């Protein structure tokens, strides 16, 4: 690739990243301006420095900032400013004064049974008061009030101009389900060609997928919170709940796929025979994952994905176990488990999903 093409791709990547964070940037800009206006024009404070600061802190620049964390940040800032203002007004500034202010601000936050975020914000805000912006002669709780105004404005802006929680869910869902489909396809290719190196590469890639799952869960948690607080996002609750219900089975499917990849690599290394239907079943599972991804993104109930996963489950018969040795038998069992996981991700209960499997030990008349 030429340097010009690399530069072009890098510019495009950065522009896309800017567009993805456009909503929180607009939120912060509006909240800061409104907070300053309210503190100066309505309350009458001449230089309400902490009003826009608290507004920006309460929102954060990360997409989908959770409301609870925003409130925690505001409480922490208010505690730090209040304690710092009161103490520095009496004892002045200096090394031991800063140490005392930080200790008392953090202790106050801990005594209020606060979380780590509040405690840290209390400490950083008290340092800011004690060093850069020591109290003027008026002193008092003016700046603590400014912080409260800014935090409230940030909360209101987040509720009235929220990020789109479905866009975040769709993006993270595509990444997670894409990783799952790629892993299943990769294993199918490895076992069909008896390629141990390929199976090893698939396993290495699949082991990195847990980070995607955690990001997916975080995005859903933030999205559900936005849909509860923001009136214009109330209609997204149903689709977010469908994603939420699917997230745990998808996580299990990824974990089972990692086990499948590990045992497939061991089976190929030991030259175990590959059941003839196995590569095709794995490809069909990957296809079911793609259908699940597309149907969740479209807001539809994943009926096609359910039928595709059920078809694989029905053909994961006990006879397949007889075509391989130990490791390959584990692979077949994992195919059954992944099919059940995908059926649950499509909306079935554990009992309903398991009922699609043929019995592992059929009764002998």
**3-class SS letters over 319-354:** HHHHHCCHHHHHHHHHHHHHHHHHHHHCCCCHHHHH
Q: In terms of residues, how long is the chain?
A: 365
Angstrom distance (rounded) from CA 26 to CA 182: 36
pTM of the model: 0.69
- CA-nearest of 259, 340, 289 to 182 is 289
DSSP code of residue 62: S
Q: Which residue has the tokens 């309210």?
A: 38
- CA-nearest of 222, 219, 134 to 173 is 219
Angstrom distance (rounded) from CA 93 to CA 129: 10
Residue 331's CB is within 10 A of a number of other CB atoms, namely 29
Whether the Cβ atoms of residue 36 and residue 51 lie closer than 8 Å to each other: yes
Question: What is the full per-residue pLDDT of the chain (365 aa) written as tens digits?
Answer: 688 888 888 888 888 877 777 777 888 899 899 999 999 998 888 878 778 887 887 776 444 445 566 666 667 767 777 777 777 777 777 788 788 878 887 787 777 655 666 666 677 777 766 666 655 544 446 777 887 888 888 878 877 777 788 888 898 999 999 999 999 999 999 999 999 999 999 999 998 888 899 989 888 887 887 787 777 788 888 888 899 999 999 999 999 999 999 999 998 998 888 888 889 999 999 999 999 999 998 888 899 999 999 999 988 876 666 655 778 888 888 999 999 999 999 999 999 998 888 876 555 44
């Amino acid at each position: 690739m030429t340097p010009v093409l690399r530069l072009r791709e890098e510019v495009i990547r950065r522009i896309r990243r800017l567009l993805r964070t456009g909503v929180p940037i607009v939120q912060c800009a509006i909240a800061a301006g409104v907070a300053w206006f309210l503190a100066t024009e309505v309350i009458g404070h001449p230089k309400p420095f902490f009003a826009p600061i608290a507004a920006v802190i309460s929102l954060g620049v990360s997409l989908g900032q959770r409301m609870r964390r925003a409130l925690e940040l505001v409480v922490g800032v208010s505690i730090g400013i209040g304690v710092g203002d009161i103490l520095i007004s009496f004892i002045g500034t200096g090394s031991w004064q800063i140490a005392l202010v930080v200790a008392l601000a953090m202790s106050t936050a801990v005594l209020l049974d606060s979380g780590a975020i509040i405690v840290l914000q209390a400490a950083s805000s008290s340092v800011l008061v004690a060093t850069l912006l020591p109290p003027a002669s008026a002193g008092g709780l003016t700046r603590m009030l400014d912080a409260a105004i800014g935090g409230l404005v940030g909360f209101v802006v987040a509720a009235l101009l929220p990020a789109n929680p479905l866009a975040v869910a769709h993006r993270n869902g595509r990444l997670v389900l894409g990783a799952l489909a790629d892993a299943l396809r990769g294993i199918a290719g490895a076992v069909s060609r008896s390629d141990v190196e390929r199976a090893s590469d698939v396993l290495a890639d699949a082991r990195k997928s847990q980070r995607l799952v955690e990001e997916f869960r975080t995005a859903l948690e933030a999205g559900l919170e936005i849909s509860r607080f923001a009136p214009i996002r109330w209609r997204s609750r149903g689709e977010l709940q469908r994603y939420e219900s699917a997230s745990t089975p998808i996580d299990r499917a990824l974990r089972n796929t990692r086990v499948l990849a590990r045992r497939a690599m061991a089976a190929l290394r030991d030259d175990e025979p590959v059941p003839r239907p196995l590569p095709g079943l794995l490809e069909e599972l990957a296809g079911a994952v793609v259908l699940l991804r597309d149907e969740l993104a479209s807001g539809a109930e994943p009926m096609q994905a359910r039928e595709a996963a059920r078809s694989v489950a029905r053909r994961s018969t006990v006879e397949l176990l007889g075509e391989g040795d130990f490791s390959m038998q584990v692979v077949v069992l994992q195919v059954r488990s992944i099919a059940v996981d995908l059926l649950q991700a499509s909306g079935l209960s554990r009992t309903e999903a398991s009922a699609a499997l043929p019995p592992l030990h059929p009764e002998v008349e």
